[in-house]
Structure 1
Amino acid sequence: MTEMDCKSGMPTLLETLTCSKRAAEDCKLTGSQDSAPKNIPGVTVAKYDKFYGNGDGEHVLWTTDCTKTLPLKLAPQGPASEAENPPTTILALLEQAAKYFPNEIAHAVERPQPAKVAARSAPSLPLEQWTRFTYAEYLRACKLAGAAFAQLGVEQFGSVAVWGFNAPEWIQALVGAAACGGKVSGIYPTDTLENVIYKIAHSDAAVCVVEGEKQARTILQNLDQMSCVKAVVLYDESTPLPENPQGGVKVLYWSELLALGEKAGNLNVKVESGHCGALVYTSGTTGNPKAVMLSHDSICATATGMIYAVDKHLLGNQRVLSYLPLSHIAGMLADVMLPLVLTARFQKPCSVFFARKYDLSDGTLKDRLTFVRPTMFLGVPRVWEKMGEAMKAAGAAAPPMLRKLSTWAKGVRLADYRSTMLGARVEEQQAKPYWFTSKAADVLLGKVREKIGLDKVQLCVTGAAPIQLETLEYFAGLGLPLLELFGMSEGTGLFTANLPGVHKFGSVGFTQIGLEGKVLRESKQESSTGCKSSEAPPCVDVCGGVVPEECQGELCYRGRNVMMGYMANPKMGAKHIAEIKQKTREVIDSQGWLHSGDKAAVDQSGMWKITGRYKELIITAGGENIAPVPIEDWVKGNFAAFSNFVMIGDKRKFNSCLITLKCVGATGMEPGTNELTPEVQALFPGLRTVEEAILDERVQAYCQSALTKVNANSTVVISNACKIQKFAILGRDFSAATEELTPTLKLKLRIFLQKYTSCTVYNLCTYRLKNVS
């Protein structure tokens, strides 16, 4: 196979494996672990000798100074090389997209946002009533915004904070900040006041772009803690401009900002691909959020690498529905960068449609999906799980004959999908349905896909948190295989991914082209590089049962996607700078490896599996390490009444768990009501509320059964130390609104433990605890 074959995409399994292997080899920064990197352009061997003498990679492999430019981590050849994935900037990509497709729709949003017509019904407006921006208009707005930001005081390497729900202006602010030589600093719509103040002050944001009056007023009322702010810009112009009694800070609408940019004239600033283009704040286990600095090259190269891998499967013009927070790396990639790369570099114009603010929390996302009919859709596991639950409930109410046909069709499609998985067992390959059987099942299921708005989708992706096997199987049975990927903010959101034709249930996929990964285990002896770790061997099959402990270790990777470092603000003092430097050193080692903090394994075919998270490992009072996630996922996948199931046992004599039941209105964003879902009520006739369920003997027996069965399952409970002895049922579900979940609906373990494992809570729940034999 030629080098050009690797460049064209991933048409076959053989080409995929060859490309992945070659790309990993191409991207290696070292000839061996003990030798200095020699192929980063602009860096001489002499400089690296000096760097190794210093003992870390500051200003070469990482920095905490947002004004620094690090050497780009280019491969000498292949998809991560300068020739095949040339360094560029965010604005340059948009300029290229606007040049090729000036009149194609870039963004579309409903303005003003219509109200719901019923509790869970909010039909979309006709397309002609949406506010639309072409790529030419998108580019013009970004350039004007950049010029206005500079006029308002955003200097080169400065920051623009953006706080609000997804909108075209959110993205225009991101690109505009990059255009004037600065960087965006995203704030989650659900952030606490403490976090909002910290992020604005820490990023030293001169301009705050906010959704409306509520956010603007919050900033204006706390200016004494954010002296860096010089202007506040509102993009929802249906809300009034708040007064600023203190004066000195300009308050204006987005349209006024663009008018200011028009008067300011053209920008005269040099922006390089190695400059910081965005800050992505990620919460730590303790202390304030950390600001991940991502260069233009990391952002653009990662998005380009993603499309390289799936280009063949994306046909025609593309559509994306924007609903995940743009301040999260997943939202930034899916809604900003992938559309730009598709349009500019792959000549496939991509339009981004914006969901309504209440869609996710109020369960009306389906109305936007059925209107937009996206060709690509990224969902966090909780979104897929909620969607699956709603579909199962609807299916249960269907006539018996239709249910029987649906069950048959889903079984056929799941068998078909299993037969194509990498390393499929002989019996799975032999169970592959005949072509006409599979086609008949697909036609029948097409109506189901149409009903949920995913009949035109070409790529369904899940990430940001682990997903249950049951959910993967359910959607594969609908003809909507979910491709699971793994990434983190510090690695621009991507390291591994399952791909069409190269996938495996339970795995997070292959190392993506242009990246390099390995599994590191703790070692008693130091290597010549001063590293107390050794590389773990690959296992036979990461999804073939229990992964041997000797094959597991910390997942580490490197490549063009690795962050510049965590940003330190010199105005916060020497202690702050020293702390941020230390945190960066702990994540990026002297060989350039990014340490993920995830426990993982890779198999002989190159597929990866996350087996736990080191910070979430339970270390019992007896010193045994337990990975709770596989146990939790097994229980949730096999006991339909449970919404959340969390193990507790760190530094305790035994393990216990806290359980929440599925309730109406619990979307993950909101905790919902105390009313049990119809699915749970069907399991326990006569029960209506959580309060009733907590005291019901049938529910107690159900929970006891869950613990008994999982304790007997040796594939997830691998030792007696892993067994769960007690349980408690909580009175409501977890949510982002009540701060147990992140905006991407992952559990905030530290906050959860603080709230629910206190002595007070345990005393209140004592009567709900049952010993498990």
Structure 2
Amino acid sequence: MPTNCAVQFLDRVEQSADREAFRFPKGEAWESVTWRQAGDRVRRLAAGLIALGIESEQRVGIASSTRYEWILADLAVMCAGGATTTVYPSTGGQDTAYILSDSESRIVFAEDESQLAKLRDHRAELPAVTKVVCFDDAHADGDWILSLDQLAELGDTHLAEHPDAVDEIARAIAPDQLATLIYTSGTTGKPKGVRLLHRTWVFEGETIKAQNLLGEDDLQFLWLPMAHSFGKVLLSTQLACGFATAIDGRVDRIVDNLAVVKPTFMGAAPRIFEKAYARIVTMQAAEGGAKEKIFLKAFEVGRKVDELRLAGKAVPLPLKVQHALFDRLVFSKVRERFGGRVRFFISGSAALNADIAAWFHAAGILILEGYGMTENAAGATVNHPDAYKLGTVGQPLPGSEVRIGEGGEVQLKGPHIMAGYHNLPDATRDAITEDGWLRTGDKGELDPDGFLKITGRIKELFKTSGGKYIAPPAIEAKFKAICPYVSQFMVFGAERNFVSALITLDPDAIAGWAAENGKEGKDYAALVNDEDVLAMVGEYVDELNAQLNRWETIKKWKLLDHDLTIESGELTPSLKVKRNVVEANNKQLIDSFYG
């Protein structure tokens, strides 16, 4: 096993020199580079960082969306012996300055003018930042700001005098040396810097490789934020397994890109699968007639076949024939929307609804749900193509452990656990038990086969004034599987006498509904106040309530006049709802439910 991430990368370059490593959009086309080409570029950039004085474990920030240059910068930082501080491109100027200051970052890679502006505006708060390297060459100023090419040229000069500098530094990096500082986006207070070591990332990649989940012939499509641990762990997995990765961080291009790239796998947050499911279902409903009947019958048959197969039972011949017909007429077309070559998707960062996973499975698309958090380098458990249970997040990664602690809390142990929170010893002590297990704050249970099921977030569980406990994520996930027009469904009612909900609609889905129902051209704000829309959503709420215990049912609800976004501060960059923010923003409305 490699001793550190830099060696892991350099070894991969040597082993797979002429194989494709990355591809990325260049205008309307895609450009491809080999491992050798990527390796040459990384060496030059790493040498440039060394020339600028970066030493062991010194931090280098990256403020950028997901793109090829992000990966080059991260690999260069690690090959120079430094440690990457990740900054989401959506992070505001004040928090960006706090993260870079708290981490004592000395150099910052900035994507474009919008990221540079944050650094210029807060330069007085960043005395440790000696240079900024911009991915956009046009912004180099010959002083504080360099271009990526200028950094590479500094590297060329350094390598001319010290040809083995990068290799010598890379080979000397200890496994317990700091590799990455990821600041958790958090819903309250200042973000906390999670200290992740080289051994944590190497372990994550190598344990996936050992399970034969992925190999050199796979092709990944990567859109996830690289500032998030889910995106970063997929890079470690790529270095271990050697597959190629197509990169484009534009979320609105995901489905279009899948059809062009034709990947064999992709990691994603549940919201992506929810949107795809809703889009396909609503499009089919809009067609109506015989096509819709065939579509619905296909999934009825698909689910029957799945139930038998997952239970280890034989599929009767008549059902098998029916299934083959529907596979040709319906399921193959669903798979084509995702490029037609997907072996599996990996879902993480939030809970995936089991009904939506079952719907995809019926269409021949396997979604392997996994579980983890920034504090354990993203991967703790994952389902396997040969051993999976829908509705669970799989079994622990080999070499790691999971236990259920006091109060049903999921706790983790293994080489992938963080070294602590940066500059926060008290928070670190609170996060790790006396016998060395990471407290996740999630509630869960292990089945007899060792598959983990997450049942809620301990802090999100609440008790009504009648003394009944409510698990909001379970109710919210049910609604998303029922209503194809919903974007977010948020349940409230702590210490209240009943449960209420705030709902947002998916702008694209509701626009499609409007076009089909004589309301084309109405904007989102008008639609959420439309009597027909309210009646339609009300029917779905009634359907949800029929599946819930009496004390869980939604008594009052309201459609918000906007969908939640990262930009509004109500979603994290990994598309999770910041529940506290939404609740604070709508306190008066929620209070009015109980007046």
* TM-score above 0.5, yes or no: yes
State the alpha-carbon separation in 2 of the partners of residues 442 and 704 from structure 1.
34
State the alpha-carbon separation in 2 of the partners of residues 736 and 468 from structure 1.
22
State the alpha-carbon separation in 1 of the partners of residues 336 and 266 from structure 2.
16
Find 1:342's aligned residue among 230, 238, 241.
241
Partner of 2:474: 630
Check the 8 A contact 1:445/1:479 in 2, yes or no.
Answer: no
Q: Deviations over 1:106-148 (max 9, x none)?
A: 122223xx3xxxxxxxxx42x5xx2x32211222222222221
Q: Structure 2 matches for 1:99-178, cutoff 5 A? A: 99-111=14-26, 114=27, 124-125=28-29, 127=30, 130=31, 132-178=32-78
Q: Deviations over 1:56-105 (max 9, x none)?
A: xxxxxxxxxxxxxxxxxxxxxxxxxxxxxx35211111122111221122
What SS does the aligned partner of 1:596 have?
strand
Find 2:267's aligned residue among 330, 353, 378.
378
Moved more, 689-698 or 188-197: 689-698
Flag structure 1 segments of 5+ consecutive residues without an equivalent.
1-85, 115-123, 344-349, 523-552, 569-579, 666-675
What SS does the aligned partner of 1:420 have?
helix
Find 2:257's aligned residue among 368, 382, 389.
368
Find 2:440's aligned residue among 593, 596, 607.
596
Find 2:388's aligned residue among 503, 508, 528.
503
Flag structure 2 segments of 5+ consecutive residues without an equivalent.
160-164
Q: Deviations over 1:253-293 (max 9, x none)?
A: 11110110121132453201111111121133431111111
Q: Structure 2 matches for 1:276-355, cutoff 5 A? A: 276-311=178-213, 314=214, 317-334=217-234, 336-343=235-242, 350-355=243-248
Q: Please tell me whether residue 215 in structure 1 is matched to residue 130 in structure 2.
A: no
Q: Please tell me whether residue 478 in structure 1 is matched to residue 363 in structure 2.
A: yes
Partner of 2:90: 190
Check the 8 A contact 1:656/1:725 in 2, yes or no.
Answer: yes
What SS does the aligned partner of 2:556 have?
strand
Q: Please tell me whether residue 226 in structure 1 is matched to residue 226 in structure 2.
A: no
Which structure has greater helix proportion? 2
Partner of 2:427: 583
Q: Deviations over 1:341-360 (max 9, x none)?
A: 112xxxxxx222222x5x31
Q: Residues 445 and 724 from structure 1, CA distance in 2 versus in 1: closer, same or farther, beyond 3 angstroms?
A: closer
Partner of 1:259: 153
Q: Residues 210 and 706 from structure 1, CA distance in 2 versus in 1: closer, same or farther, beyond 3 angstroms?
A: same
Q: Residues 211 and 695 from structure 1, CA distance in 2 versus in 1: closer, same or farther, beyond 3 angstroms?
A: closer
Check the 8 A contact 2:277/2:484 in 1, yes or no.
Answer: no
State the alpha-carbon separation in 2 of the partners of residues 601 and 476 from structure 1.
24
Partner of 2:306: 417
Q: Residues 214 and 707 from structure 1, CA distance in 2 versus in 1: closer, same or farther, beyond 3 angstroms?
A: closer
Find 1:678's aligned residue among 506, 509, 512.
512
What SS does the aligned partner of 1:205 have?
coil
Check the 8 A contact 2:175/2:197 in 1, yes or no.
Answer: yes
Which fold has the larger relative contact order, with Cα–Cα distance below 8 Å and residues 6 or more apart in sequence? 1
Q: How many residues are paired up?
A: 587
What SS does the aligned partner of 1:555 have?
strand
State the alpha-carbon separation in 2 of the partners of residues 404 and 724 from structure 1.
31
Q: Please tell me whether residue 395 in structure 1 is matched to residue 395 in structure 2.
A: no
State the alpha-carbon separation in 1 of the partners of residues 54 and 317 from structure 2.
60
What SS does the aligned partner of 2:405 have?
strand
Check the 8 A contact 2:61/2:84 in 1, yes or no.
Answer: yes
What SS does the aligned partner of 1:272 have?
coil
Partner of 2:338: 453
Check the 8 A contact 1:419/1:431 in 2, yes or no.
Answer: no
State the alpha-carbon separation in 2 of the partners of residues 309 and 708 from structure 1.
44
State the alpha-carbon separation in 2 of the partners of residues 416 and 469 from structure 1.
17
Report the Cα offset of residue 636 of structure 1.
2.6
Report the Cα offset of residue 653 of structure 1.
4.1
Question: Which residue identity is paired with 2:263?
Answer: P
Q: Aligned Cα RMSD in Å?
A: 2.7
Q: Deviations over 1:732-769 (max 9, x none)?
A: 11111211111111001121122112x3x458xx5xx5
Report the Cα offset of residue 625 of structure 1.
3.2
Moved more, 596-605 or 722-731: 722-731
Report the Cα offset of residue 584 of structure 1.
0.9
Structure with the greater alpha carbon radius of gyration: 1
Partner of 1:180: 80
Q: Residues 183 and 686 from structure 1, CA distance in 2 versus in 1: closer, same or farther, beyond 3 angstroms?
A: closer
Q: Residues 147 and 310 from structure 1, CA distance in 2 versus in 1: closer, same or farther, beyond 3 angstroms?
A: same
State the alpha-carbon separation in 2 of the partners of residues 432 and 607 from structure 1.
32
